[in-house]
Amino acid sequence: MKFKMIHENYNVSDLNASIAFYDKALGLKEAHRKEAADGSFILVYLKNENSDFELELTWLRDHPQKYNLGECEFHLAFSVDDFEAAHALHQEMGCICFENEAMGIYFIVDPDGYWLEILPVR
């Protein structure tokens, strides 16, 4: 058997804010979406031309409170070909939440508190 990772799900409070964040911070664009006929949920799948992997954003109408992310000991990682330019963009956006200069990586945080690791192409 061969398994292939196809997507990761993040539940979000403000779908439009999250879509805008992922577009500006990581260049992820909406690939497709699914909406419940009764309006109870919307699933939006984001991706870019560099990978088939998708980030699924789930918005639930009946979940108005912030999501409890525990200790946030999980993250997605993104490699970038121009690390310095990415760092400058994320610094300008004010979304860098942790830097590990010894390892040459940093993390950004999305509007719901999910951490995303940024590392240079190696």
In the predicted model, is pLDDT for residue 3 greater than 80? no
Within 10 Å of residue 52's Cβ, how many Cβ atoms?
A: 11
Quick one: pLDDT at residue 64?
Answer: 81
Handedness of CA 82, 84, 87, 91 (dihedral sign): negative
Long-range contacts at 80-87 (CB < 8 A, ≥ 24 apart)? 80/118, 80/119, 80/120, 80/121, 81/120, 81/121, 83/118, 83/119, 83/120, 86/118, 87/118
| pLDDT tens-digit readout, 63-114 | 988 888 877 778 899 999 999 999 999 999 999 999 999 999 999 999 999 9
The pair of structure tokens assigned to 56 is 């699924």
Of the candidate CATH numbers 3.40.50.300, 3.10.180.10, 3.30.70.1290, 3.20.20.100, the domain formed by 7-61+74-120 belongs to 3.10.180.10
Are 97 and 104 in contact, with CB atoms under 8 Å apart? no
Quick one: pLDDT at residue 60?
Answer: 96
Quick one: pLDDT at residue 57?
Answer: 97
| pLDDT tens-digit readout, 26-74 | 999 999 999 999 999 999 999 999 999 999 999 999 998 888 887 777 8
Q: Is 121 helix (H, G, I), strand (E, B) or coil?
A: coil
pTM above 0.75, yes or no: yes
